[in-house]
Amino acid sequence: IYGRSTPKWKDIGLEIQGKRSTIMKESFRSTKPITEWAFNVLYQVQPPDDVDHKELVRLGLIEPEQWGESHWWNIHFNQVDGPMPTFHRCSTVKEEMKKISAQLLLWIKNEGVTPGDICILFMGERIENELEKTIAPALKAIGATLAIQRGERFIDDSRAVIATTPHSFKGYDKEFVIIAGVDAFAEQNRARILYVAMTRARSLLAIFGWDRPKPEVQSLFSIVSRCLTRLTRPPFIEQIVDKSDAEVIDETIGS
**Average pLDDT, stretch 146-155?**
89
Q: How far apart are CA 197 and CA 115, in angstroms?
A: 19
**Average pLDDT, stretch 26-31?**
73
Report the pLDDT value the prediction gives residue 51, as an integer from 0 to 100: 83
**pTM metric for this prediction:** 0.82
Least confident of 67-71, 205-209, 215-219: 67-71
Listed residue (204, 203, 183, 202) closest to 194, CA to CA: 183
Q: Is the pLDDT of residue 139 over 80?
A: yes
At 248, the pLDDT band (50, 70, 90 cuts) reads very low
- Greater confidence (252 vs 205) lies with 205
Report the pLDDT value the prediction gives residue 197, as an integer from 0 to 100: 97
Report the pLDDT value the prediction gives residue 234, as an integer from 0 to 100: 63
Q: Which amino acid is at 174?
A: K
Q: Which amino acid is at 79?
A: Q
The DSSP annotation for 158-196 comes to TTEEEEE-HHHHTT--EEEEEE--GGGGGTTT-HHHHHH
Q: Is the pLDDT of residue 104 over 70?
A: yes
* Residue 207 β-bridge partners: 87, 179
Report the pLDDT value the prediction gives residue 225, as an integer from 0 to 100: 96
For 86, list phi and psi in degrees, rounded to 5.
-130, 155
